[in-house]
Amino acid sequence: MRKLACIVLLFNFSLATGVAQHHQIYFSNKVKADSLRSTGNYHAAIPSLRVCVSEPEWVTVEDEFFFGYALFKEDKIDSAAIFMRKALKNGFHFHDMGQLNYWEEKGVLKKMQSHKAMEGVAELLQSNTANYVNHSAMDSTLRARLVTAREQDQRFRGADANYKKQRGLDKKNQRFLRQVIQEHGWPGWDMVGYDGMNAAFLIAQHSDNDKRFQLQCLNYIHDAFYAQKVDAPSYAYIIDRTRINAGKPQLFGTQFETTQENGAFDLKARPVEDEPNLGIRRKVFGLVPIEKYLAESKERLLRYQNHLK
């Protein structure tokens, strides 16, 4: 168990500090692959998808599934089955029944079922998508407990800030989240809904007093992100937070610092690695352009200042 914990922390440290910096390669190919897929040009997307599935820090089940599907369209059935089945066994699904129905109407599912190597792939895609749409794995009790923990996370932040009291609540929340992870793994949307998932993220994000635990959370979140069980923007926030806490530049520009000049407060982004490609990374992860995000954050800071007057 100790050896496993060390491996987990080493992986987290690599992701948080940027020891393995392959993000430029992944994101440039991800943008290209998504653009080509959106026009139905799977043949041209294959080289970029192949790069994406070879990047273990960033690859998702979506990358693996559609790389497999692109190979399937080229009649490379055996290779296609490997990637599509792996993605499906790790949770890949469509986000609604519409895409599944479209594939059925176009005969895609029937064609899959006609190949022995693809046995069970169509059925697993149908099952995964139905479970996602119907929230079959939801734990409503755990969800409610996490939502309560989120309320505690915000209790003494913001306008009624009392950091001494908040630290006590944060430690209590950290103990709770440790227990949840130990018993259930990372609580993703499939288990606790989006509000419960957001609560778990906030607890991890605000665990700066326990950076070891924060890094452990990052590893679990990474695995959940790969399996489509957490949202990309939240993952970006925790990556940036752990990198900043490790003394390294952030990747997504989510972390700001407050400056003061002539009694007036202002915000500026903390250092960003590979800043020229920041916009690409933010787009892939569903984040608004940095200029808009900074302007909105400054507006919130101004409202907070006015509240204190």
Amino acid 15: pLDDT: 55
Q: What is the mean pLDDT of residues 129-139?
A: 90
* Token pair for 21: 């910096």
Amino acid 303: pLDDT: 76
pLDDT in tens, 65-91: 999 999 999 999 999 999 999 999 999
Q: What is the mean pLDDT of residues 185-210?
A: 96
Of 63, 68, 69, 57, give the one whose Cα is nearest residue 24. Answer: 57
* Token pair for 30: 């991800």
The single-letter code of the amino acid at 160 is D
Give backbone dihedrals phi and psi of 265, rounded to 5 degrees, phi first. -95, 150
Q: What is the mean pLDDT of residues 129-148?
A: 93
* DSSP three-state, residue 186: coil
Q: What is the mean pLDDT of residues 8-22?
A: 49
User: Is residue 2 scored above 60 in pLDDT?
Assistant: no
Mean pLDDT of the chain: 90
Please state which of the ranges 38-42, 154-158, 231-235 shows the lowest mean pLDDT: 154-158
Q: Which residue has the tokens 């050896």?
A: 3
Amino acid 109: pLDDT: 98
With cut-offs at 50, 70 and 90, classify the pLDDT of residue 5.
Answer: very low
Q: Which residue has the higher pLDDT, 10 or 46?
A: 46
With cut-offs at 50, 70 and 90, classify the pLDDT of residue 21.
Answer: low
CA distances to 52, 174, 185, 289, 293 from 224, rounded to whole Å, are: 17, 19, 9, 25, 26
In angstroms, rounded to a whole number, what is the distance separating the alpha carbons of residues 255 and 260?
A: 17
In angstroms, rounded to a whole number, what is the distance separating the alpha carbons of residues 15 and 13?
A: 5
User: Is residue 20 scored above 70 in pLDDT?
Assistant: no
Please state which of the ranges 2-11, 25-34, 83-92, 210-219 shows the lowest mean pLDDT: 2-11
Q: What is the mean pLDDT of residues 286-290?
A: 96
With cut-offs at 50, 70 and 90, classify the pLDDT of residue 266.
Answer: confident
Please state which of the ranges 3-12, 94-103, 129-138, 190-199 shows the lowest mean pLDDT: 3-12
Q: Give me the percent of the chain exceeding a pLDDT of 90.
A: 77
In angstroms, rounded to a whole number, what is the distance separating the alpha carbons of residues 306 and 298?
A: 12
Amino acid 158: pLDDT: 67
Longest dimension (CA), the chain: 73
Find the angle CA(64)-CA(202)-CA(2) to the nearest 5 degrees.
Answer: 70
Amino acid 13: pLDDT: 44
Q: What is the mean pLDDT of residues 112-116?
A: 98
Contacting residues for 28 by C-beta, under 8 A, at least 6 apart: 277, 280
Contact between 216 and 182 under an 8 Å Cβ cutoff? The reply is: no
The single-letter code of the amino acid at 305 is Q
Q: Give me the percent of the chain exceeding a pLDDT of 70.
A: 90
In angstroms, rounded to a whole number, what is the distance separating the alpha carbons of residues 204 and 303?
A: 26
Q: Which residue has the tokens 């994101």?
A: 27
In angstroms, rounded to a whole number, what is the distance separating the alpha carbons of residues 227 and 131?
A: 14
Contact between 174 and 138 under an 8 Å Cβ cutoff? The reply is: no
User: Is residue 49 scored above 50 in pLDDT?
Assistant: yes
Contact between 216 and 222 under an 8 Å Cβ cutoff? The reply is: no
With cut-offs at 50, 70 and 90, classify the pLDDT of residue 261.
Answer: confident
Beta bridge partners of 259: 266
Amino acid 280: pLDDT: 96
Please state which of the ranges 14-18, 46-50, 135-139, 160-164 shows the lowest mean pLDDT: 14-18
User: Is residue 95 scored above 90 in pLDDT?
Assistant: yes
Amino acid 36: pLDDT: 98
User: Is residue 3 scored above 50 in pLDDT?
Assistant: no
